[in-house]
Amino acid sequence: MAAPKSRLGRGLGGLIAAAKPVAPVSPAVPPAPAPAPATPGAPGYDEIDVHRIDPSPYQARREITAEQLNELAESIRAEGLLQPVVVRKVGERFQLIAGERRWRAFQQLRIKSIPARIVEASNASAAALGLIENLQREGLNPIEEAHGYASLIRDFDLTQETAAERVGKGRASVANSLRLLGLDGEIQGFISRNLISVGHAKVLLGMEDVALRSVLARRVIEEGLSVRSLEKLVQAQPKSVRPSAGRRAKRAGSKPEEAAAVGRIEQKLVSHLGTRVAVLHTPKKGRIVIEYRGNEDLQRVLGLLGIEA
């Protein structure tokens, strides 16, 4: 049977092979006897003192859990290190390109040196290689992946197409990933924690009403809605979506800061009541419109408002 193809067009190994290895260096302090990991015998690898390595400033992963780190540390203790970290020389120290979790596990195990491959790489190449490592080996969540692409584009003045080429992805795939960053922070958090899927996120991105997006995202979680069910729910909404609170206030002649304040109030009401709320405000008068669905939902909303029916 043919070997399965990599998810990415250019694998991490291929890109590293294209980078120019530098001559191995001797560690400043000989490694102390410790549960020694397996060291690859291929040329271009060396043992580097763990304390001489710094994390990458381009790391896409936002969170490394204690559980993940403990599991990796126990695996290294039992089996040794199967894949060395990749570093580049920066001044008198080394900077990680790939393998931060492995490096942190060595710190946790108090092992003084770690097998590493030393390559020469520009800042942009180091960032791309680190992102590929995470995508292929360490499973970034969709929001971390999107932030990784955004960092490549922002920090190194790349186009979406160039960034996609760097990591061996299609431009459309990168563009779709970046769209997730257009969602508000709460929904991004739901995606990061795998409470809603990217499929759900794509449906929500098609809605202009930000407050309603949040309401529907919570309904997906609370009711276990499928992507198809969410699509039907969105299609059932009125075609003429009401303008946002900010636009309504602006139309009434309010100042931008007043419009922003009204928007924040509306969002707080949406969060508290778990339903769609419109704050129709003018300097002289206004009204609050609260949406509910049926008798039971009305009872729920009234309860949250402290009103007995």
Which one from 100, 138, 144, 145 is the annotated catalytic residue?
100
Smallest Cα–Cα separation from 119: which of 152, 147, 141, 97?
Answer: 97
Helices (H), 180-241: 185-192, 198-205, 210-223, 227-235
100 catalytic residue (yes or no): yes
Per-residue pLDDT of the chain (309 residues; tens, 9 = 90+): 444 433 333 343 443 344 444 444 333 333 333 333 444 434 457 888 999 999 887 776 666 778 878 888 888 888 888 788 888 888 889 988 888 888 888 999 999 999 988 888 778 777 777 777 666 655 678 888 888 888 778 777 778 888 888 778 888 888 888 888 888 888 988 998 889 999 999 999 888 788 888 888 988 998 899 999 999 888 887 654 444 444 444 434 456 667 777 777 877 787 677 777 777 777 777 888 887 777 877 888 888 888 876
Smallest Cα–Cα separation from 174: which of 192, 194, 154, 148?
Answer: 148
Spatial contact of 147 and 171, defined as CB atoms under 8 Å apart: no
Q: What is the dihedral of CA 255, 257, 263, 264, to 10 degrees?
A: -160
